[in-house]
Structure 1
């Protein structure tokens, strides 16, 4: 169980938490605490629904497998594409987070962040092309690093907190809280990750529920603590400040040198996260191509056995986002809605699949998750067009791939 908790926490805690607390506080004001709390609460039925699916259908395909079992292969292919695009766009957001912290520590303007981020992305892509992988122990160590930073922020912030910063409590009303919850889907993305690990448990039905509950408690305490710290110290309010809010808290509490340490830690954590996601998402791209849901080109491997075209595809999508950040001033606060809405759509499809596959108590659990997810849907605004657009692309890619196979 300790290994399961460590891997599960590693899947939830990521580099995004270094940038999103400030953005969420700007969107919702002190009511950001409600958004964090609701997201953590929503994790309960979602996590246990995916854990139940994993226990009943242990398969590395995860949500795509569940969707295919419940609604047919097309649903599985669409779910795979949603996660592929979400994970690829995430490789703009995570490196940019490192870029913000490094630029701040070096006293550079924020427009240098995309160049720094491009270096992080290039290293991760090169490492994957060379067949280099981070072991489970290294990934767990990186998760511990994130947790250590969050705990440090919480402790350093305590003397700086002023309760005057909690008023007005909800300056942007319900819409601000709703938009904050949508953003947090990226920070909390990973509840479904346990499905990919289910085959590794010796006694999945006994151990997985316990590991799930412990993970929810650990993640919720850390995230809510950081949210309280950012709101209580008023380390948000502008785009530049939102992006490095945790570093600002450390700087004010311990001095400028501490901000440099946070920047170094951010680079290490973001590089590790980017490397891991380029590896996993490129394998998903390979699997989609293998199953006829993406161009066959993505199935090709290099001498190291790495699916190099799939890796380059993920890197290209991440690089396109960085180019947009450099040319048009896009920030993580602009880009994050795309992967967040795709993760939201994936979760809705996954929990709806559970509601169809289960009966009795487990069906009620799954339906509870579906209802909570649907409550957040209206706050995504025009970004709700993204999942249907990706679904159309997936169906077209499947049709083109099928036609190509028939011509052969």
Structure 2
């Protein structure tokens, strides 16, 4: 990936501002990405595609990598302190910048419901069999909501350890499973044909969307011209490697139909009962921390939209300590409603629709930059707009494989965002809230920024 002549130096940052480093970015990206995408969706993918689920993860990863390159060229043009989505307002229009940010807010809000449900499944299946999944999912929702109304710093300090524990246990399971893999396990790689592979790939699209949290904090990252591209690509590579290793280990178990706790099911066969318990523990930690990370990320998006004046200022109201209680409570209400819906596949599909809409718009913005010969200071791609155009086509090609009802719901929820965008013109008296949101962003004192800086290398 080439760069413009002036892109070797990053945008200068104010000396008093603490910035986010590479390790913190990757930890947040991987921590947000590797959650339900492996502990629950991997079983669903194998149920749909059999051993072909390996191809499904590869296809979804390749499509997401194309989109990630578009994100890189756009977000590396963000000004100091600006969200990585900010340049879209200049390249296309403020409306399209809003569409991207709103779509990622929807994606985060729906993924929270999916993660707390996965948490409930694993906790009930291996530790609290007398409790119901629904009750445990609602309890997890309440816990995550309360954490984000208060001591987020406590969770942030533990995030690096949680990421390390779950990655170590998944790596152990993957390596152990690969030693048990036999040619016969792959004898029928496409038992349900190519349709199962592509259906699973479309469902897995959201399994790679964790890197968007890096884009959101791009303007507050140390040396963003180098750090952001590296963090995004490392997040996708690390996550993809974990997914592939996990799926191959699951195939080695010989199980052909998995439940919602599929990874632990496979670990019991491959490693013994103790392996199933260890993986279940990692799943509980991962899904709960992932839900918390998505609340942080979604609240950050709302705060930045309030600062821009894109949504009614009331959504950005926060406590004296900076906790955005309106946004957090709204996320809690949305999560409860989606959990009560009790349809994980539908929830994930809606999240995918929102993510795909955002990917398409960002890739269009990158293509426009390519047609304009990559103006400004930021990353460039070879072959002009070819890669972003391919990303648009690849992302759009996932939509027909999704459930029609979920597709319609995702589009309608995006339209609801448009109504909020228009409603901002009728909301008076919100200048103080917008000014407060801007001060938090400028001082890197939003909950997400404070949490990111709690990582060992989160400071310069």
Answer whether contact 1:355 1:367 (CA < 8 A) is retained.
yes
Alignment check: 8 A CA contact 2:177 2:253 kept: yes
Check 1:236–1:322 CA distance in 2 against 1; reply closer, same or farther (3 A cut): farther
Instruction: Give the alignment of 1:268-283 within 5 angstroms.
Output: 268-283=285-300
Q: How does 1:202-281 map to 2 (within 5 A)?
A: 202-237=222-257, 241-281=258-298
- SS of corresponding position for 1:56: coil
Q: Is the 8 A contact 2:82 2:218 kept in 1?
A: no
Superposed displacement of residue 143, structure 1: 2.2
| Range with greater deviation from structure 2 (305-314 or 8-17) | 8-17
Name 1:103's counterpart in structure 2: 124
Q: Indicate the residue corresponding to 1:366 in structure 2.
A: 388
In structure 2, do the counterparts of structure 1 residues 406 and 128 end up closer, same or farther at CA, with 3 Å as the change threshold? closer
Greater mean deviation of Cα atoms: 398-407 or 301-310? 398-407
Q: 1:297 to 1:213 in 2, by over 3 A?
A: closer
1:401 equivalenced with 2:428 (yes/no): no
Determine whether 1:130 maps to 2:153: no
2: CA distance, partners of 1:407 / 1:131: 27
Deviates more, 1:154-163 or 1:13-22: 154-163
Aligned to 1:352: 364
CA drift at 1:151? 0.8
Asked whether the equivalents of residues 32 and 293 of structure 2 are also in contact (C-alpha less than 8 Å), the reply is: no
1:188 is paired with a residue whose SS is helix
Kept after mapping to 1: 8 A contact 2:85/2:215: no
After TM superposition, give the deviation of residue 105 of structure 1 in Å.
0.8
Stretch moving more, 41-50 or 112-121: 41-50
Aligned residues: 399
Q: Which has the higher helix share?
A: 1
**1:389 has 2:408 as partner:** no
Are the aligned partners of 1:63 and 1:346 in contact in 2 as well (CA < 8 Å)? no
1:9-408 residue pairs with structure 2 within 5 A? 9-58=30-79, 62=83, 64-106=85-127, 108=129, 112-134=132-154, 138-237=158-257, 241-325=258-342, 330=343, 332-359=344-371, 360=373, 361=382, 362-382=384-404, 383-405=406-428
In structure 2, the CA distance between the partners of 1:59 and 1:194, relative to structure 1 (3 Å rule), is farther
Deviations 1:281-323 (A, max 9, x none): 1232333345444343322222432111111000110111122
Asked whether the equivalents of residues 51 and 194 of structure 1 are also in contact (C-alpha less than 8 Å), the reply is no
Unaligned runs of 5+ in 2: 1-21, 374-381, 432-460
Cα distance in 1 for partners of 2:109, 2:346 equals 16
Is the Cα contact below 8 Å between 1:33 and 1:228 reproduced in 2? Answer: yes
Decide whether the 8 Å contact of 1:293 with 1:395 is kept in 2. Answer: no
Change (3 A) 1:4 1:397: closer
Q: Per-residue deviation at 1:356?
A: 1.0
User: Per-residue deviation at 1:167?
Assistant: 4.2
Segment of structure 1 superposing worse, 387-396 or 113-122: 387-396
| d(CA) in 1 for partners of 2:273, 2:259 | 18
Gaps of 5+ in 1: none
Does the CA contact (< 8 Å) of 1:154 and 1:226 recur in 2? Answer: yes
Deviates more, 1:307-316 or 1:68-77: 68-77
| Deviation of 1:2 (Å) | 5.0
